[in-house]
Amino acid sequence: MSQRPVISIQSIMRILPQSQCGQCGFAGCWPYARAIVRGEAPPDLCAPGGMTTATALAALHAGSGPMAHAGAPKPAQRPLETLGINVHECIGCGRCLPVCPVDAIAGAVGFLHAVLADSCTGCQLCLAACPADSFVPAPGECRACAATARYRYRYARKRRRLARALRPESRRVATARKQREITEALERVRKRRGWQAAPPTLE
């Protein structure tokens, strides 16, 4: 009886383009790679990677099982194209910051934003988020199938950061934060009413 080869997520990640564009229907290359390993997704969903990527993924299965047969992926809904920001259009709203899967946009709310050219994968997810239409093509090297360690690293770093932000606060940290907020609120009231130390009593 032939045994299904053991395939790691990392071996698949080395083949996927790492644009993190979501055109496979998953929230990035890593979730797609995990679905392939679990046998939940076929190897031919990555449109930017095209037939080259699909064939390489199928080959990992060493010619056995249904996953070893890749059809031609659907054409890409949008091409991978690196972007920049038109400084005359950016209104500093910050809406593009959370959608960039590799944190390639630098900026803060109220300030002009900029794209870090060597980190932009060309996924174009920021286009739909920008209400001012300020993203413009900024052609760099072709990103398709680049599979660079930089994109993997930056994507993983953003995932970890978001996971940390979603983690519930420990009781000790929550208590300290509440205490600090109460102290700061009291201080603001004191200043506004001109109290020196403690608020006046009723008697």
**Chain residues that interact with ligand SF4, rule: CB under 6 A:** 16-17, 19-24, 26, 28-29, 32, 46-49, 83, 99-100, 102, 104-105, 115, 120-126
CB of 176 to ligand SF4, least distance (A): 35
d(CA 165, CA 168): 8
Element at 115 (helix H, strand E):
strand 114-115
CB of 54 to ligand SF4, least distance (A): 10
CB of 149 to ligand SF4, least distance (A): 15
Q: For residue 79, what are its two tokens?
A: 């091409």
Question: Whose Cβ is closer to ligand SF4: residue 37's or residue 126's?
Answer: 126
Question: Whose Cβ is closer to ligand SF4: residue 150's or residue 178's?
Answer: 150
Please answer whether residues 41 and 26 qualify as being in contact, where contact means their C-beta atoms are separated by less than 8 angstroms.
yes
Question: Whose Cβ is closer to ligand SF4: residue 157's or residue 178's?
Answer: 157
CB of 48 to ligand SF4, least distance (A): 5
Residues with Cβ within 8 Å of 190's Cβ and at least 6 positions away in sequence, in order, are 196, 197, 199
| Nearest in space to 43 (alpha carbons), one of 54, 27, 29, 32 | 54
Question: Whose Cβ is closer to ligand SF4: residue 29's or residue 37's?
Answer: 29
Q: What is the DSSP letter of 66?
A: G
